Structure 1
């Protein structure tokens, strides 16, 4: 029997029968409270609303016609192209995110705190801005290579942030034991550290995959045909929405498969720290002769992801004249963008909280279905979400048509997974025994959520809200369809000017968008639990 004062351990092994559930998750049979179930079901219902639209549209001309569209040779080609691009970007983001997280958190890298901020700044660069920067400098990149490059450089922070947070929160005791048994740094990282990072890396990789599958701006500018571009072309080519709806249905099935695969990688292990005492900070690994290559690696990534797009925008700004853009118009558009993004982030975070808590604290088929429903809307292209909400508003809620609340709901549908992933990870690191103690003292489920769960998970939830704020500011296709008449965001004005070939006029809006999105990105980089 293990003595009470045994060394602190991080549980990551299969739990024998009869042993209580590890910290971070309750027993499988514990039902969630109605305080969580009711709002979580409302969030899931909103997220699957586009699926109802797809079902109506895809089957409008009968199942046979929809099957002909799905079985078409072009659909198979789009499937291979989309999966190939997704696999390449996810693999590259895992390499970039995990390596940069380890260098900035666990090593004595010179300027580690500054690098940890700089590597989160690509979150402020929209994919279509990155694609424009590289395409204008190197036109031969158009196609798969350019799309993969642009999407990798703007989405690797989705892996870096959760992995870095996991490295900061993981007790180094197991790694020290492995080194004391003769394991070298590489073997210790592969056998001990990396398995503990699997949930955070898998969650970040899932977000990257969903981002790539739903991206329209970068692949459109790079002229690389994926499902999103094929759907947009189908919508523009005909008044018949059935083919585009059928293609969107295939994309949703791909999303469900990805979410299910990521859920299986979590296993049944707990990931919260257990035991007595407080966690000790890890001793930074000395890089020695590898210090300069490590600095070069960090510098190359930041230069490609941040400095290069900014330099390109600077070039177009220098080429512009006073007649190409109005500072007052840019400022008004920026204020509108901030207000809309803040509303979208607030609603999304509120909807994600109950879903994330249930996903972290309870296991079961219903829990998995609820979480998968929350993720489903993220891979539906923004244009499809926009058209689905237009269809719903025109038929059932006409006063909302072309009003701000409808646009905010679209942001919630699109970016709910971002907030859910952050909330689930934060709640998993909070031992549920504190909630059990609060209930034993007579606290109601609502008070336990308000006084215990939310305060413990607040840093992670806030990070998810900031991340959601950034992606709301950058959203383009749904905003184009749902914005109130006469309202523009920085993204829509940038797209309009770029479509007209006015690159110098588009540059101020792109620069303003990057600068505004850089503030929450900077705060995310400085965040320390």
Structure 2
């Protein structure tokens, strides 16, 4: 006769006294299990984050030490008075504030509307619609600014030339204009066109992953598409919206190429150009003025960063959950045609026309609106890629740097985002601030710091592409971390818990659950990484040399030499490379999304 097992063997263990379920919080034994499962991954992500923070803090510390402490001298009130009482500095701060207050909201509104129309309505254009809003990124900023001069220069701009010819037919004769890109509205136009992709990419990635159930419920209740977008969609994607605000603010404050080309000639000086002038065109370099002006940027970016970080920690937004998503979209009805025409009009004016102007100038002998069709040819491309010129080597270096840098940078950003997401300690908050430092400073200043830290002993990386690779990853890492954190914040814990319950390890869960769900945001980060490295101008002007030329430094040389035709040819090659890369990346996102 068998003996029944002791009662204690059949009785489940009594849970701890405080393990009763709390709304929105798992029981203690579930939390313990989750913490034990994430402990090895947490240690690895913490180590990677520490390395990344060291990569940023070490060169900055070396620069500050050599600047302020080498001779026992520190910044005093006289330095503050000298910098901030300078009329040029006060004018630059005022102009920067105006541009940020006007071009920033315009870029956010246009990028948000394009993302909503392309992801959530029946006015979408598919893959082409995803590519065209970021087409302004496919041309390096300095070449993009030149493209607007090709179009809207008051005397020789193609668009002005055609408009004057048309007005002449009806008896209105003009010697110049009617538009002038070297003006306030021209600078605002160029800033807005360049910043729209930074608003579009995080918002589109968030909208693509958002469950439309709440939107459907609002529409069933009688809300209009616009009311549903304002009251339901925007609150659900709040972290992505604040990420877009952060990116737009950082780009607006730190961009140099647009104001250096358009603003200088129109008399519109901004903070970024003042920093570059202090670092590059003053002898000896006025590092103190550059750092004090950078402090102004830091204060503005710090406020936006605090708001964005608090929003992500609050958890009051939509997450990707284990429930299936429907494919329902907003039906615009008679407004669908209007929406599509508006999208096409914007894309035509802001992206395709400047690209066409660049390609057209690239086949001319020299830039002129009086086209001689029999002289058009590919002579600029042949001269640019000849063995005697540096463009071929510069393209090869930039392609290698862009490919390797975007892969390493995005992977590092994923590990950093995992650590920042799983830890709420003061160490994690400090690391979050450190990783965003490059967004608060001029890339020229960062480039000088990396030269001081790594060019000489003990590293001896000066005039090598390894120094460029390290610097580019450090400079653009903050954008990838921001987008990776946003993508990770929308992955619900129920999906990872289900994977663990099925017996999968943390590495397998990361590979097969977390990363695929983060894919849209990660690809967006990779696109920004690649395009930025490929066409970087600011850091390349300091870091690149004769043995390691890159496209950015070559573009600067062509611009300073006044060779607009070859500049346009190089920009055309970069555009083709970037289009192929972005199309491949967006196709990968669609493939991953279909398999989810």
What is the TM-score normalised by the length of structure 2? Answer: 0.78
Counterpart of 1:399 in 2: which secondary structure? coil
Correspondence for 2:565: 504
Q: Structure 2 vs 1, CA of residues 522 and 179 (structure 1 numbering), >3 Å: closer, same or farther?
A: same
Unaligned runs of 5+ in 2: 1-20, 154-179, 366-376
Match of 1:304 in 2: 349
- Give the match for residue 17 of structure 2: none
2:374 match: none
Q: Within 5 Å, give how 1:447-462 maps onto structure 2.
A: 449=510, 452-462=513-523
Counterpart residue number, 1:489: 550
Q: Is the 8 A contact 2:205 2:520 kept in 1?
A: no
Residues 250-294 of structure 1: CA deviation (Å, up to 9, x unaligned): 333333333223223446125454766411112x33333323321
In structure 1, what is the Cα distance between the partners aligned to 2:514 and 2:93? 41
Partner-residue secondary structure (3-state), 1:400: coil
Which deviates the most, 461-470 or 189-198? 461-470
> Quick one: which of 56, 59, 76 aligns to 2:68?
59
Q: Alpha-carbon deviation of 1:499?
A: 0.9
Cα deviation 1:302-348 (Å, max 9, x = unaligned): 11222221222133223227765233354443222211211221232
2:438 is aligned to 377
Aligned partners of 2:444 and 2:538 also within 8 Å:
yes
Task: Identify which of 138, 148, 154 aligns with 1:134.
Answer: 148
Kept in 2: contact 1:252–1:379 (CA 8 A): yes
CA RMSD, Structure 1 to Structure 2 (Å)? 3.0
Is 1:360–1:425's contact at 8 Å kept on the other side of the alignment? Answer: no
Matching residue of 1:4:
none
Q: Which residue of 2 aligns with 1:243?
A: 289
Moved more, 406-415 or 106-115: 106-115
Corresponding residue pairs, total: 509
Aligned to 1:326: 384
User: Where in structure 1 are there 5+ consecutive unaligned residues?
Assistant: 1-16
Tell me by how many angstroms 1:473 deviates. 0.5
Cα separation, partners in 2 of 1:360 and 1:398, compared to 1, 3 Å: closer
Cα distance in 1 for partners of 2:237, 2:320 equals 17
Query: What displacement does 1:228 show?
Result: 1.5
Residue 229, structure 1, aligned to residue 273, structure 2: yes
Residues 481 and 298 (structure 1), Cα distance of their counterparts in 2 relative to 1, 3 Å cut: same
Larger radius of gyration: 2
Within 2, Cα distance between the matches of 1:291 and 1:46? 49
Question: d(CA) in 1 for partners of 2:458 and 2:408?
Answer: 19
Q: How far does residue 472 in structure 1 lie from its aligned partner after superposition?
A: 0.9
Structure 1 residue 201 and structure 2 residue 241: aligned? yes
C-alpha separation between the residues in 2 aligned to 1:274 and 1:471? 29
CA–CA separation in structure 1 for the residues paired with 2:359 and 2:212: 44
Shift of 1:452: 5.0
User: Aligned residue for 2:166?
Assistant: none
Relative distance call for 1:326 and 1:170 in structure 2 (3 A) is closer
Matches within 5 A, 1:127-206: 127-139=141-153, 140-206=180-246
Q: Distance in 2 between the 1:244 and 1:110 partners?
A: 45
Contact 1:216 1:228 in 2 (8 A): yes
* Structure 2: distance between partners of 1:186 and 1:158: 23
